Amino acid sequence: MGSVISSGRITGVAMETPELVVDSRAELGEGPVWDSMEGRLLWLDIVGGRVHSLDPLTGSDESIEAVPYVSSITPRKGGGFVLTAGHAVLAWDGESSAVLAEIEEPDGNRFNDAKCDASGRLWAGTMDMNEASPAGSLYMVSPDRSVRRMLGGLTVSNGIDWSPDGKTMYHADSPTGNVYAYDFRMEDGMIGRSRVFASIPHSQGFPDGLTVDSDGMVWIAQWGGWCVSRWSAEGRLMETVKLPVSHVSSCTFGGRKMDTLFITSARYGLSGGELRREPHAGSLFSVVPGAVGRQPHEFDG
């Protein structure tokens, strides 16, 4: 197992204790993304249908109602953003939205996590809302708004990102406990050979959102695991950042130097007793882990 990071210096990496940034107590905090144009962090409350905007310099966090079950937000080239919600991919300008693409999915499914690759294509996964049936898929939405189903048989399609050289795509199917690594061809978005990159025992939670830093390290939020774990490109567990909440949902790098790891969490599914033990469940946290992230790719549509 890797080392537990709480403070001090571990394996030469300067760490700080995770800080409570916004005591928001969102029902299902998710989908953080750094907005470099405005110098702010955008993140979501999926169940609340809200988009949050954090100014790290002032600590001010504002939220506005967007669309029901908004599950991801991605910068869009030329301005604005792309949202996923329900069965739709939406263009959003901060006030109103318009449909860019729709998918055919069972009524009990909805979009979940999504991210753009370096060529400006949006990769968006779906999930069974009961988290029981392998009826989910992973779709590729091209800049011309055409939609292609790339993977099927998923239960909860979750965290997705690419290696710095673009040759490996990482993708989590949460109930399996696995994050998979796929050979990836950036020029056309084709997926090749797959392997299990990281396997998390159910006693330590489930892999949720993830991000890859500039050195190719993979940071995985562990839902039910009270932590974010850092893995080498070879799939070796390096360290674990402990949080005071169990349902750790996603993470991304941001800040002026892209050296702050922002971490979302959720209250969803916790009992009254659990919430009393985790009063900050659903809040936003941050830590400076001695690593540097990458600017998010924009949707080129």
* pLDDT of 159 over the 90 cut: yes
pLDDT digits (tens, 9 = 90+) for 224-244: 999 999 999 999 999 999 999
Stretch 24-35: mean pLDDT, rounded?
97
Please state which architecture CATH assigns to domain 3-287.
Answer: 6 Propeller (2.120)
Give the residue extent of every domain in the chain: 3-287
Residues counted in the chain: 301
Look at strands 237-242 and 3-5 and give their pairing.
Answer: parallel
List 113, 128, 161, 208, catalytic entry? 208
Closest by Cα among 32, 27, 115, 10 to 285 = 32
Does residue 208 carry a catalytic annotation? yes
Helix (H), strand (E) at residue 274? helix 272-277
pLDDT digits (tens, 9 = 90+) for 112-151: 999 999 999 999 999 999 998 999 999 999 999 999 999 9
Q: Which two tokens stand for residue 168?
A: 């490996």
Residues 6+ apart with CB under 8 A from 239: 2, 3, 4, 5, 10, 11, 13, 229, 230, 289
* pLDDT of 62 over the 70 cut: yes
